[in-house]
Amino acid sequence: MVALALVLLLAGCEAPPPPEELDETACAEASERVGGTVCLHRIEDRAQWESVAVVADVVDQDRTTKYLVPVSSGEVLPTVFVNANRYYLHYDFLREAFPDAFAALTWGQYVAMIIDPSVRRYFGGDVTEYIEADGSRRFGFIVWDDPADASTTITYDEVLTVWTELQGRFRLGALMFAPNSSNQRAAAATWVDAPFAIRGEDNLAYEAYTEGVGFGTVRRVPLAELAAATAAASFGYQDILVLDEAPFDVERIVSGIVTGSRQGTLSHLNVRSAARGTPNCYLEDPFAALAAWEGVLVRFECGVESWSIGAATPEEAEAFWEELRPEPVTIPAADLSVTEPLDLLDVPTDTVAERDLALVRYGAKGANLATLYQRIDPGYQIDGLVVPFAWYDSFVRTNTWDVDGETLTFQATLDRWLVDATFTSDAAFRAERLAELRAAMLEAPVDPAQLVTLAAVIQDTWGDDLTMVRLRSSSNAEDGLSFSGAGLYESVSACLADETDADTQGPSLCDADKDNERTVSDALRGVWASVWLSGAYEERDWYGIDHRLVSMAILVNTQSEDEQANIVGFTGHPTLEDPRWLVESQLGDLDVVSAEPGVWPEQVLLTLVGGAVTSIDRVTQSSEAAEVLSDSQLEALGVLLWDVAAVFPVDDEVPDGGTLLLDTECKVLDDGRLVIKQVRPYLRD
């Protein structure tokens, strides 16, 4: 049994009295609604404890469950002990048990709500029954923060708040605080006269959470560098990720995880790894233990009592990865026969055959918007045109660069890389090479004849050269039923006058607030190069998409200035757990989907009957405004979304058991006009 050092900083202290509880009906009401116990507000006896706590699958713990303690008294929920037999994750608990408040909660919003001190709404963590070396039992609690960011480390006052709330509701014994990171242990070492015990470190050398075998290249990533490595896609499903300390979560899919600090049974990392079947274990000082294997393709096993590692062949690894990945997604090959840009309203979309041609000539985003615009009121439209795939193909086949001692076209380089064993199996190497390629693409010339053609179309469409336009990705690997690809590629603003003036100096002639010029050629290169962003490659690769078929057309439309709101509206609810339609909106030009940390959109659920909004339920207030969309704006938006659902044709067959929604992006312009800028099918199984 593991020996534990317990430091009792104030012996013999009495537990705090039960806290004043304004509403202890939330768990009972939710339990009745769901049809089973979802949570308790108090643990009065052993039977109640065992009803909500799961058996902990680690050597020094018996049972464990999760808790939530509100930071302020005005929160939706009071303190709760979650029924871990039903919900391993707070996220699932909140969304299912309390849908009126949390049905639209995104994972990013949930994480910020739990661990970001600037916007934290709840303290979260585990309550666990620990087994000591002598066989005795003690109860302890952890409080989550971001172990990679010392500035978020939980403070003494915050731990005291949590302990006071939990201990006043927990009658099975005194609760000790269990630090779960080096930052927390360092902080706790400075606390004096605390009314609770603090659990010390243990002497465990190895512990398995998800037993199994993984094949991949060993990547040792310090926890402090994990966020940057994740953003750069420098590791992925072909890697064994080794971390010096367990993080709050690992977003990317990997073939195995080894951490240098222990993970709780109900930690996000453990729960999500188990759900994916990813081998996952704790190893004392893994950086030293696995130093010799850094960058080596291996077979790694998390066993019951020990771990093992050995060199693997590419053939073994590839067979494993094929089993790991979902069914491959097939994308249509680009039709390069069309070489002229076309106004959205002039793209043929009347028949299925015409819509299929639009897709393979102008990409999904452009083809979808052209199809919709030709079927809705012009008042909801903004000017737009599409640039065909043929332009990207010409760009990558005519431009050359010097690489590995040779002069090759971009396409010839890709043809070589995409069948190279090192490139296809080594994420870090691949990310480095793709960065080099993108840098070269961003400096390569654009065909002057294409620029003249596009300049004339922009001038004709917008009537001048001083209107800022937005060039947006419209590839054949996004916005489809089988592959969304949302957010994988880049959009870039462009000013025609900046392209045709006699200098390269800012500010932009279209917008004096922009210090640099925004040339059309830079925008074209930026969108084209984004095909080979590491994150885009890795996402496509996970879904088995043939990168050799990927091409990039471009949707060009007006860049809105000083808009009142950005909106994402679904013709239903993405979770399929609510009959109402979800609308998320944000003030001004702030992003709804990929918001900065601590910024979240307004979330509203609309009930629609016969094309009319009959009920507006405001779920979450935006972090930036008390109200983003008024009731009248929401009513108008609901009518518009209903019309979109009625007229937008989806030609692909919806799989059996699947449900099709439409994901529509809208804006409220500076003059109050509601417009649609994008529509895509959204398939849920």
How does pLDDT run across 235-283, given as a tens digit for each residue? Answer: 999 999 999 999 999 988 999 999 999 998 888 899 888 888 899 999 9
Domain ranges of the chain: 4-202, 206-324, 342-558, 565-684
With tokens 């601590």, the residue in question is 598
User: What average pLDDT does range 552-567 have in this prediction?
Assistant: 93
pLDDT digits (tens, 9 = 90+) for 655-677: 887 889 999 999 999 999 999 99
How does strand 307-311 pair with strand 297-302?
antiparallel
Q: Average pLDDT for residues 170-198, to the nearest whole number?
A: 96
The residue length of the chain stands at 685
Please compute the mean of the pLDDT values over residues 520-530 and round it to a whole number: 98
Residues 114 and 324: their CA atoms lie apart, in Å, by 31
Asked whether residue 1 carries a pLDDT value surpassing 50, the answer given is: no
Enter the DSSP assignment of 150. G
Work out the number of other CB atoms within 10 angstroms of the CB of residue 453: 16
pTM across the whole model: 0.86
Sequence-distant (6+) residues with CB within 8 A of 200 are 4, 5, 6, 7
The DSSP line for 299-334 is: EEEE-SS-EEEEE--HHHHHHHHHHHS-SPPP-PPP
pLDDT (mean) for 103-125: 90
Q: How far apart are CA 206 and CA 187, in angstroms?
A: 25
The fraction of the chain above a pLDDT of 70, given in percent, is 96
Class level of CATH domain 342-558: alpha beta
Tell me the C-alpha to C-alpha distance, in Å, between residue 328 and each of 58, 178, 365.
37, 44, 21
pLDDT one-digit tens code per residue, 196-206:
999 987 778 99
pLDDT per residue over 282-331, tens digit each?
999 999 999 999 999 999 999 999 999 999 999 999 999 998 888 999 99
pLDDT of residue 2: 32
Q: What angle do CA 159, 162, 163 make, to 5 degrees?
A: 85
Residues 95 and 81 sit within 8 Å (Cβ to Cβ) = no
Give 100's pLDDT tier (boundaries 50, 70, 90): confident
Identify whether the C-beta of residue 196 lies closer than 8 Å to the C-beta of residue 11.
no
Q: How confident is the model at residue 560 (pLDDT cuts 50, 70, 90)?
A: confident
| C-alpha dihedral sign at 414, 534, 211, 328 | negative
The predicted structure's pLDDT at residue 409: 98
Gap between the Cα atoms of 466 and 52, Å rounded: 63
Highest CATH level, class, for 206-324: alpha beta
Instruction: Give the separation between CA 629 and CA 626, rounded to whole angstroms.
Output: 10
Query: What pLDDT was estimated at residue 592?
Result: 81
| Mean of all residue pLDDT scores within the chain | 92
Mean pLDDT lowest among 101-110, 120-129, 312-321, 619-628: 101-110
